[in-house]
């Protein structure tokens, strides 16, 4: 949570990709949901639209995230792409 918040705090950042090697909701969707409340100027963008396994749980737009488990022939991971709603003007 701290790393994602720090990344979004840079004034000229337009996109941040949050990725973990975890399958635990508290490290993934819960972190993204909490940070999006702190940074309302950002939204979730649909990540890897072709990927069949999507996020789950407490996150309102979890279907925009990617989630993989050992069933997906991996050790498990999570990816969310957060994009600034209105790009900052230089």
Tokens (6 digits) for 2: 């701290």
Which residues are tagged catalytic? 21
Cβ atoms of 11 and 88 closer than 8 Å: yes
**79 backbone dihedrals φ, ψ, rounded to 5°:** -140, 135
Q: Which of 28, 34, 30 lies closest to 47, judged by CA?
A: 28
């Amino acid at each position: 949570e701290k790393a994602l918040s720090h990344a979004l705090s840079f004034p000229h950042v337009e996109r941040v990709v949050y990725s973990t090697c975890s399958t635990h909701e508290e490290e993934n969707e819960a972190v993204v949901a909490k940070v999006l409340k702190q940074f309302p100027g950002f939204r979730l963008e649909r990540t890897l639209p072709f990927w069949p396994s999507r996020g789950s749980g407490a996150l309102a737009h979890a279907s925009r995230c990617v989630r993989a488990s050992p069933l997906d022939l991996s050790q498990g991971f999570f990816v969310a792409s957060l994009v600034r709603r209105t790009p900052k003007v230089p």
